[in-house]
């Protein structure tokens, strides 16, 4: 019961924050780049719910608009990773042999080396900004998807209905598409719920060290970076972006836990 309640609250929170950020202009009357020097570094008040930053920009608006980049980069990077991971994972799991061997080597390699350092290297290759982040995160996170999909495919491959399909003369691509993929939805959903928050967090860390989006655009990571520098005198600048980021990740984690129990993926 407790799990279910948290599950609903988490979904509600994530929906709310996606809606708010999508329709940000309707939610807040301030723009994210509008500067107002006479109202700079204000504490939270009725006019500015979360205060203003050092250029007088409304922090609440900046967080809402920042959510667009934070959520979008996390979700899109995970979807790209999912596409690569599902293709390589099913192919390697179904055919086995040298294809599988090569994939396993690559997976082993990535398992040893920390993804965030790889992402930093890739960031300088692709350039700072949204696309750079997207590719850096996607290329470092498809391994997790591939590993999971491969393991599941290995199991499904041995099922009787797959054997029956083979006996009926179905080709491998049809078998993968018709019989293996439909059975992968549960694990894929679970892996999405784990990978999306991981990527949102990675994005915020890359942005925090200054490798992410460039001004005037901002994500929660860049906001936290600005907030960190002024933290001692104006703690609201880091507390609000941090709180929203934390709650979002928390919601994703509760979501993932519940899905994991439901689909019994370890």
Partner 1 sequence: MSKELVLFFLKRITGVSTTLFVLFFITFFTLRLAPGGPFDTERAFPAEVRANIEKKYELDRPMWVQFSHWMRDVVHGELKDSFQYFGKPVKEIIVESLPSSILLGVLALFFATGVGIPLGCLAAWKKNQWVDRFVQLIAVSGLSLPSYLLASLLILLFCTYLGWLPPALWEEPKSLILPIVTLSVRPLAILIRMTRTSMIESLHSDYIRTAYSKGLSDSKILFKHALKNSLIPSLTVLGPITANLITGSFLVEIIFQIPGLGKHFVTAVINRDYPLVMGVTLVYGTLLVFCNLCVDLLYHWADPKMRIDA
- Residues making contact with partner 1 (CB under 8 A): 108-109, 111-114, 116-117, 120-122, 124-125, 127, 197, 201, 204-205, 208-209, 211, 224, 227-228, 231-232, 235, 238, 242, 245-246, 249-250, 252-254, 257
Give the separation between CA 221 and CA 211, rounded to whole angstroms: 10
Closest CA to 72 of 237, 196, 231: 196
Omega before 216 cis (within 30°)? yes
Q: Report the residue number, 179 or 212, with the smaller CB distance to partner 1.
A: 212
Q: Which among 245, 247, 208, 233 is positioned nearest to 53, based on CA atoms? A: 233
CA nearest to 53, candidates 28, 73, 30, 72: 30
CB of 226: closest distance to partner 1 in angstroms? 12
Cβ–Cβ under 8 Å, residues 136 and 81 = no
CB of 59 to partner 1, least distance (A): 15
Residue among 80 and 211 whose Cβ is closer to partner 1: 211
CA-to-CA distance for 97 and 108, rounded, in angstroms? 17
Residue 208 CB, nearest approach to partner 1 (Å): 5
Min. distance of Cβ 257 from partner 1 in angstroms? 8
Comparing CB distances to partner 1, the nearer of 141 and 204 is 204
d(CA 109, CA 6): 37
Nearer to partner 1, 85 or 256 (CB): 256
> Closest approach of Cβ 8 to partner 1, in Å?
16
Q: How far apart are CA 223 and CA 68, in angstroms?
A: 13
Smaller CB distance to partner 1: residue 139 or 149?
A: 139
Question: Nearest 5°: phi and psi at 70?
Answer: -60, -50
C-beta closer to partner 1: residue 111 or 173: 111
Encoding tokens for residue 132? 């750079």
Smallest distance, Å, CB 111 to partner 1?
Answer: 7
* Smallest separation, CB 152 to partner 1 (Å): 19
| Secondary structure percentages of the chain, helix, strand, coil, to 5 | 75, 0, 25
87 vs 249, beta carbon nearer partner 1: 249
Q: How far is CA 119 from the centre of its chain?
A: 14
């Amino acid at each position: 019961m407790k799990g279910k309640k948290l599950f609903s609250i988490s979904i509600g929170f994530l929906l709310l924050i996606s809606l708010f950020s999508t329709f940000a202009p309707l939610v807040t009357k301030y723009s994210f780049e509008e500067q107002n020097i006479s109202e700079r570094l204000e504490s939270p008040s009725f006019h500015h719910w979360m205060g203003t930053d050092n250029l007088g920009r409304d922090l609440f608006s900046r967080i809402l608009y920042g959510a667009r980049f934070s959520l979008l980069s996390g979700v899109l990077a995970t979807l790209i990773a999912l596409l690569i991971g599902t293709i390589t994972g099913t192919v390697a799991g179904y055919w086995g042999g040298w294809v599988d061997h090569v994939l396993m080597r690559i997976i082993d390699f990535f398992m040893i080396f920390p993804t965030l350092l790889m992402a930093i290297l890739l960031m300088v290759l692709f350039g700072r900004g949204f696309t750079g982040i997207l590719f850096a995160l996607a290329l470092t996170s498809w391994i997790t998807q591939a590993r999971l999909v491969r393991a599941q495919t290995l199991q499904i491959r041995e099922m009787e209905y797959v054997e029956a399909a083979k006996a009926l003369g179905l080709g491998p691509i049809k078998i993968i598409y018709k019989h293996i993929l439909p059975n992968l939805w549960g694990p894929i959903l679970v892996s999405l719920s784990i990978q999306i928050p991981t990527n949102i967090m990675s994005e915020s860390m890359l942005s925090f060290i200054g490798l992410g989006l460039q001004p005037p655009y901002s994500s929660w990571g860049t906001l936290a970076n600005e907030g960190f520098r002024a933290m001692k005198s104006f703690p609201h600048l880091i507390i609000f972006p941090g709180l929203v980021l934390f709650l979002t990740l928390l919601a994703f984690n509760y979501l993932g836990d519940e899905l994991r129990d439901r689909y019994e993926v370890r």
